[in-house]
Structure 1
């Protein structure tokens, strides 16, 4: 029998684990101040527009700008930089919080790539504020050895229009290979230059009751080119950390894309969550990060949320904050394991061994012709082709060298398993037809 939701849309918690980081989903959902700070206006934590209205509306762009500016003024551990400009001239911002030490673990939050999925953005803005103003010893110790990177609004044009895609109708989360959009190019720059160890991509979804209607779904990278230890760590994060934390907080949860029988819990079908390399969750794994997809439910739960949409909005944001709280705890507790997995992934690419998969996923065997069992040594590009795609290759962190009248892209580099997806004519989303070099 389903457990009845509570008044704020959450189900009663099954267990009572205590989480001690400054960020707490319950406080955020109720817009309660989280931190103990001096009371003068210059040091009082700002509230988002969402919090100030109790979830009656989402935070406006001007309010976002004011919050980020205040956080930067308040704390020397916070900086805000512009990493791009959208097709309609709006800024794309990256917030950096915490340690700049070379040995710090780096966690990247990408919020609301789809403009009509705003709950992740609210969770990210709250997170920026809470980390900037934190005074408790545990959070400050966490930030002393961790850098948290946040792209609070990855699709400002879509947010302004209330659309999934950007101003040109392009889905940014299907552009992480071609890099045609300003948003995808900005994120590629962050992945290349900052080399995050963990990447969380925050989204929302529409439910289909009773088979696909959990409060929150999560998923790891399914792409078969994900290095083994990195894949194992991403699955551990989803299955052993985030999903239990979601249930403990009183929400229902599941694996994204998996429809289940409401009576038995058995799998009925899969509607999403493939190994498609152009989705950020998978692209980040190919760039050596532990990837995590988060999807909160937009649809109202029962009559209370239908009567008061603010209840549904608060539940959506609070469930996302539950994930971020557990994500930070995971990163703090397993930093050495995570760093080892990301380092092994880079080394495995540079080592140039093993097959490369042009299709399939961890839940779908690739067709034989989609497997490069003996990958080439590299790909040759004409000068004309390189002029057309060289900028994208550089954004992906792919190195090349002059080769006669053209350019040579060797596979023996960290981006080894990404390169055939970009240059092999058999790959579904390749940028150009490179000429394979088999004379190693």
Structure 2
């Protein structure tokens, strides 16, 4: 890891500790300092910070917090991008965004309502970016717009449930787009075309398989362009995990393919190549995607005896990893933009196979590969009426005609089209008629 990233990791650890008013658990030799300090300049604090980690920030507190940050600086803008089934707003926060910015990073927090630590990290990060006066942060924001969806599943967060108010897992809805929450995320990706999509989650520990403080996983879907896939793995393996390790946290890759002790196959795939999961949808849509999971279960006596200690460890590990993602965005800016730009234009060439299954660790069966893709798919008027909104939210271009609509493959979202419309696709919107001749 470069000297610059090491400094970021140390600074991030210090920042994370400063946000908490009691010592944070970390492994022996941790770089995380003890002690506490209030946020700079009397800036607002989250409910989590005010309670010393004893409880999570309420939605009323989130609204008040974001309003205060928005009013305090012109670096921040807060908008509503959707409304849930129970009438709660899904908010998007923009930080930075001057005319000279070139890079865009999207943070998606708490898609699962019972996984709150990423939301807390996102909220405090919005505040810290907004109020920061140091040259490094100013330089980052002069060239990067940071978009944050602090609570991607407000109804689930209110009920402390994984799914939304209808019991739907939002992180399995990034193809069908049946939920208000999934549609809101899709619209942000379409409208802002983030170079990096960073998805914050938590997981329940399973000793021997899952017992690390922090796990991460990149897009495994085989339709992810090779340069985008390479940058996503770099984000995980050279930035997020090393930074967490340097701060004293144990790390690993999410998804256990073999038993770490016996070597026997386990194939706990964590949805490896499924296009409906956000980290894979991000890759297919030409963004450098990463899923990050922090462990909810306490492992030390201190964490077992005091829930706040465990909560602080969860949030701190998220903060360390998140700030490493900012360092990645800053240090590899040119490589990231080259990768995402090339991927977005490659579909216009209309070449190469498209994969309906498989993953980067599990080759697709021949039946799961369209070796010679059609020119496009034709939809009947009834089909088009049923799916035109979803196609538009995905940023897929279609041509309505008197017989329905034609959806060509020759477009930026080329690989996505068959996943939405081919009769063999697992999570298709509808079964379009393949048009072999252009």
Q: TM-score range with shorter-chain normalisation?
A: over 0.9
- Picking from 9, 15, 19, the partner of 1:28 is 19
C-alpha contact 2:91 2:149 (8 A) present in aligned 1: yes
**TM-score normalized by structure 2?**
0.92
- Picking from 380, 383, 395, the partner of 1:382 is 380
Runs of 4+ in 1 over 4 A off after TM superposition: 20-23, 259-264
> How far has the Cα of 1:260 moved from its partner?
6.6
Whole-Å Cα distance in 1 between the matches of residues 418 and 384 of structure 2? Answer: 15
C-alpha contact 1:258 1:267 (8 A) present in aligned 2: no
- 1:69-93, CA deviations, whole angstroms, 9 ceiling, x for partnerless residues? 0111011010000000000000000
- 1:243-276, CA deviations, whole angstroms, 9 ceiling, x for partnerless residues? 1111111000000012676669x68533133100
- 1:85-128, CA deviations, whole angstroms, 9 ceiling, x for partnerless residues? 00000000000000243652000000000000000000000101
C-alpha contact 2:100 2:143 (8 A) present in aligned 1: no
Whole-Å Cα distance in 1 between the matches of residues 185 and 199 of structure 2? Answer: 11
> How far has the Cα of 1:135 moved from its partner?
1.2
**TM-score normalized by structure 1?**
0.92
- 1:25-66, CA deviations, whole angstroms, 9 ceiling, x for partnerless residues? 2323447346543xxxxxx21111101111100001111011
C-alpha contact 1:116 1:159 (8 A) present in aligned 2: yes
- SS of the aligned residue for 1:337 comes to helix
**How does 1:134-149 map onto structure 2 within 5 Å?**
134-149=132-147
Other-structure match for 2:7: 18
**How does 1:33-432 map onto structure 2 within 5 Å?**
33=37, 36-37=40-41, 44-101=42-99, 103-258=101-256, 269-273=266-270, 274-432=272-430
Whole-Å Cα distance in 2 between the matches of residues 260 and 380 of structure 1? Answer: 43
Structure 1 residues without counterparts, runs of 5 or longer: 1-15, 38-43
Other-structure match for 2:31: none
C-alpha contact 2:216 2:236 (8 A) present in aligned 1: yes
CA RMSD of the aligned region, Å?
Answer: 1.7
Structure 2 residues without counterparts, runs of 5 or longer: 23-35
C-alpha contact 1:112 1:120 (8 A) present in aligned 2: yes
Whole-Å Cα distance in 1 between the matches of residues 374 and 133 of structure 2? Answer: 54
- 1:193-250, CA deviations, whole angstroms, 9 ceiling, x for partnerless residues? 0100000000000011123211110010000000010001111111111111111110
> How far has the Cα of 1:393 moved from its partner?
0.2
Whole-Å Cα distance in 2 between the matches of residues 359 and 117 of structure 1? Answer: 29
> How far has the Cα of 1:334 moved from its partner?
0.8
Whole-Å Cα distance in 1 between the matches of residues 332 and 83 of structure 2? Answer: 35
- 1:400-435, CA deviations, whole angstroms, 9 ceiling, x for partnerless residues? 112341110000000100000000010001010100
Query: Structure 1 residues 112, 178: CA separation in 2 closer, same or farther (over 3 Å shift)?
Result: same
Whole-Å Cα distance in 1 between the matches of residues 354 and 395 of structure 2? Answer: 18
> How far has the Cα of 1:137 moved from its partner?
1.6
- SS of the aligned residue for 1:288 comes to coil
